[in-house]
Amino acid sequence: MPTPLASQQPPTSVPSSPRGILGYARFLLLGVYFGFVLIKAQAVSWVKMQEMFRFESFYYFGMFATALATAWIGVWLIKRFQIRSISGETIRMVTRPFERANIYGGLIFGLGWGMAGICPGPIYASIGAGISVMILTLASAVLGTYVYGVLKPRLPH
């Protein structure tokens, strides 16, 4: 009986998926740490956000430019060195065609961001920091997501 080629054999060590609450503790701790980083970077500051929307401060624009540069370098490194995911899968970059729906979605997202004074990510950090009014913002974001899910079949995609 012939033996399979080495390239056809399954990997010998595949990371196991987390099981139960304790398995997800590392992700919870990473999220808490990221929340602290957002708070210390003033990414949850309504005042700073309004200054950005009024073009009175460069602070957030600088933060976004840094994030964009970091993401660009990260994608370049992934493509250049063919970096794989933690589970060993190939990371594929998919180029999508331009769609008008993205403009409409961006406008709705930006309108909500401007009205709330905070983007969705830091909402959780704000709640964790004790800014209880952000519970209403989170509830509104969840409601908006639910309404989109209901209306999705009727929307042009």
Q: Which DSSP category does 54 fall into?
A: T
Alpha-carbon span 121 to 127, nearest angstrom: 11
pTM of the full structure: 0.59
What is the reported pLDDT for 19? 66
Which residue type is seen at 151? L
Question: 18 or 31: whose pLDDT is higher?
Answer: 31
Which residue type is seen at 134? M
Tens of pLDDT, residues 110-152: 888 888 878 787 888 888 888 899 999 999 989 988 998 999 9
Alpha-carbon span 3 to 137, nearest angstrom: 60
**pLDDT class for 17, splitting at 50, 70, 90?**
low
Q: How confident is the model over 86-108, as a mean pLDDT?
A: 86
Tens of pLDDT, residues 49-93: 888 888 998 988 998 899 999 999 999 999 999 988 878 888 988
Task: Pull the structure tokens for residue 95.
Answer: 């180029």
Residue 61 host element (H or E): helix 59-81
What is the reported pLDDT for 62? 92
What is the reported pLDDT for 20? 73
Residue 156 clears pLDDT 50, i.e. is over it? yes
Q: Report the interhelical angle of 134-151 vs 100-116 (nearest 10°).
A: 160
Range from 6-20, 42-56, 87-101, 137-151 that averages highest in pLDDT: 137-151
